[in-house]
Structure 1
């Protein structure tokens, strides 16, 4: 196959950008030219890896602090997705379409993130081969994939009732969200494109190939998933190849028993609440040390109130530090979830927003984690959950088992193989 120019477009936090960087690097290693079209915020990071970059104005500038704080507030009312789509994305849809149209000039393939709504319009308008991706199982909105249906003790009749109930709930949600995609439908009409399915839901998926960029341990294909879905495994982007643990953190880890690790990723870290302080107290009362990954320039922790045996760190490569922890306490973002699964360590998930509650449910279902609601989070409740994870052997053994399975997956290779296979099919189709 001749070398191709491939444009990958993404939106969101580092957890959204990293998978596409990992795939872009692999595609370039195979001789292709990869370009990531995303916010100007990530230009330096992407270009530093030798990946092509094209700016796309998803919003005037992603303000991680402002958006993180506001999403933290909205998560209490479960309206964070509405805010992201209606107020961060749709006002800039036309500018995004124009920029992305420029990015795909001369390209052989467009690969889209689930929030890259302009991508489906460009694929329909230009006819460019198109592969869509999904980072989290929740985005398939399956009526068959729920905590109730994972229980083996219910009858087939009860399972059928659960599917009907789940389907009704999802239909109600889609009805409530029907106006979210109005700007896309309007632009679609102006472009002379025929009406299509809802672009926020099934319309986000390519009719040819959808890559589910997560482990089959997290979710397996369901009867109502798109038939063109391929589950690849997590496409890990490991900064550890360029960055190691800081000398201070390395000395801390080497000087005692494995600590409890607390992290909120790159977005929710802007709205931590009592996550770090109560976590440090709980760890100390359990007789464990703690590592607090608080983000660069983010935290306002009262350091003088932190107990002994606690280290505060801006950042550490998850692939390096997670395997050295006793338990990982995190928010359930899919990027962090993937790294934690691969580490083989038990988890406590404190979900904040978006897909995080669903990811938490799946980890509990796997037997590798427990979950604690954010509004119930305190040193006392945290201690009770951590005791189960630390002293009940089944969590550690199950986490190690699942970790080995995830380590055996190669999401980057699987995704790149699928992309190349699709490109070959396009070449063969055009040559006939």
Structure 2
């Protein structure tokens, strides 16, 4: 059996799909360890996970839209996090001596450590942002990103002549997407689009299942873990839109109560966190209103649920556009959609059979990627090739 080290950022949307792959590897008898911010990883992975902490540090909150959001992500998180974790990561690799690493594209320090120690590694892409050169039409932006990555390479004291983009393993890039959601992106030849990888989630015994009213059509409203204060005004408009949809449509809000309006529809369910996968698996939902994050979109489509997306930043506009192009949902502007327009979009995905049929079709295409099983197959081959 092999020993795998997973290097992930302290972001729920990155940890959860990696956990699905880790669970499959562990079920096959492999040793799986994690490294990163333990205060974030431990609650998501549970007490039994083997976690090598790299320390805790506060980073600037991500903000803005478009290129401003990109700058905030890279200069406020990715680069500082890589610098902060570089030495602890090197120590973990020396201690654990893994056979292979799975490195999230937003933790380039993992790729640099793997290169230094001559270890096989795979890139992990839980989103579409770093696939297929999305900024190829903006050469100055690409040059700026390349400069940041080369700076990390130089800081790691790796030979300049050996430089390679640490976002892309030359051996394998595992992407939790599929052709239906990548559009015309030119994926790297070593990319394996395995589709959604729903990771194991802790049970939520406190979810008020008894409040799900029979005979209603239910809409899950979830804007991800990074919307923050930006979500307050949107949730207010969403609550009004769902009220306009009528009493037969029951909203389920998954958001901190502080981000929700004081007055919600009387039949609405509001929780800080919802057991999303369980709701979907039980057939308790009819549609999803979300930010267009790859995980939420992939999970919804895998269960044949149409979407209304209101993308905020990063790869969300691209993913939302692909959902709309596939006919599996509709896209609305996050910052300015009026409740009436949002209600119209929600009624359309609920009432139009074509949207649900497209969601079922796209979900089937995504599941054909093989998910955690296909990802584990690829990682096993990568580790065994070293021996």
TM superposition score normalised by structure 1: 0.81
Q: Partners of 2:67 and 2:18 in 1: how far apart?
A: 28
Tell me what 1:306 maps to.
Answer: 264
Larger Rg: 1
Higher share in helix: 1
Distance 1:186 1:409, change over 3 A: closer
Q: Does 1:253 align with 2:212?
A: yes
Deviation at 1:26, TM superposition (A): 1.5
Tell me what 2:104 maps to.
Answer: 113
Q: Partners of 2:315 and 2:288 in 1: how far apart?
A: 18
Q: Does 1:98 align with 2:87?
A: yes
Tell me what 2:239 maps to.
Answer: 280
Tell me what 2:174 maps to.
Answer: 211
Question: Any idea what SS the aligned residue of 1:325 has?
Answer: coil
Q: 1:258-315: per-residue Cα shift (whole Å, max 9, x none)?
A: 22221112222453132222212111212122111113xx524343x22322121121
Q: Partners of 1:377 and 1:273 in 2: how far apart?
A: 14
CA contact (8 A) 1:4 1:32 kept: yes
Q: Does 1:54 align with 2:43?
A: no
Question: Any idea what SS the aligned residue of 2:180 has?
Answer: coil
Tell me what 1:29 maps to.
Answer: 27
Q: 1:13-46: per-residue Cα shift (whole Å, max 9, x none)?
A: 2111111112112111111111111112224225
Q: 1:111-164: per-residue Cα shift (whole Å, max 9, x none)?
A: 100011112221221101111121223322347xxxxxxxxxxxxxxxxxxxxx
Alignment of 1:20-419 (within 5 A): 20-45=18-43, 48=46, 50-57=48-55, 60-61=57-58, 67=61, 70-71=62-63, 74-75=64-65, 78-105=67-94, 106-142=97-133, 167=136, 169-188=137-156, 190-194=157-161, 196-197=163-164, 199=165, 203-219=166-182, 224-239=186-201, 242-244=202-204, 246=206, 248=208, 250-287=209-246, 288-295=249-256, 299-303=258-262, 305-322=263-280, 323-407=283-367, 410-419=370-379
Q: Partners of 2:337 and 2:278 in 1: how far apart?
A: 27
Q: 1:180-210: per-residue Cα shift (whole Å, max 9, x none)?
A: 335314314x34453524x3xxx41111122
Question: Any idea what SS the aligned residue of 1:136 has?
Answer: coil
Q: Partners of 1:256 and 1:187 in 2: how far apart?
A: 60
Distance 1:33 1:339, change over 3 A: same
Question: Any idea what SS the aligned residue of 2:238 has?
Answer: helix
Q: Partners of 2:16 and 2:45 in 1: how far apart?
A: 13
Q: Partners of 1:127 and 1:362 in 2: how far apart?
A: 38
Deviation at 1:214, TM superposition (A): 2.2
Q: Partners of 2:86 and 2:302 in 1: how far apart?
A: 37
Deviation at 1:355, TM superposition (A): 0.9
Question: Any idea what SS the aligned residue of 1:207 has?
Answer: coil
Q: Partners of 1:215 and 1:246 in 2: how far apart?
A: 34
Question: Any idea what SS the aligned residue of 1:344 has?
Answer: coil
CA contact (8 A) 1:23 1:415 kept: yes
Q: Partners of 1:269 and 1:90 in 2: how far apart?
A: 22
**Number of residue pairs aligned between Structure 1 and Structure 2:** 381
Q: Does 1:8 align with 2:21?
A: no
Deviates more, 1:334-343 or 1:350-359: 334-343
Deviation at 1:95, TM superposition (A): 3.3
Give RMSD over aligned pairs: 2.5
Q: 1:237-276: per-residue Cα shift (whole Å, max 9, x none)?
A: 132xx4156452x122243412222111222245313222
Distance 1:369 1:110, change over 3 A: same
CA contact (8 A) 1:282 1:379 kept: yes
Deviates more, 1:35-44 or 1:335-344: 35-44
CA contact (8 A) 2:102 2:121 kept: yes
Question: Any idea what SS the aligned residue of 1:60 has?
Answer: coil
Tell me what 1:152 maps to.
Answer: none
Distance 1:227 1:43, change over 3 A: closer
CA contact (8 A) 2:203 2:275 kept: yes
TM superposition score normalised by structure 2: 0.90
Q: Partners of 1:358 and 1:80 in 2: how far apart?
A: 14
CA contact (8 A) 2:81 2:107 kept: no
- Gapped runs of 5+ residues in structure 2? none
CA contact (8 A) 2:19 2:200 kept: no
Q: 1:44-95: per-residue Cα shift (whole Å, max 9, x none)?
A: 22552522101124x6135xxx72xx52xx12x5322222221223234343
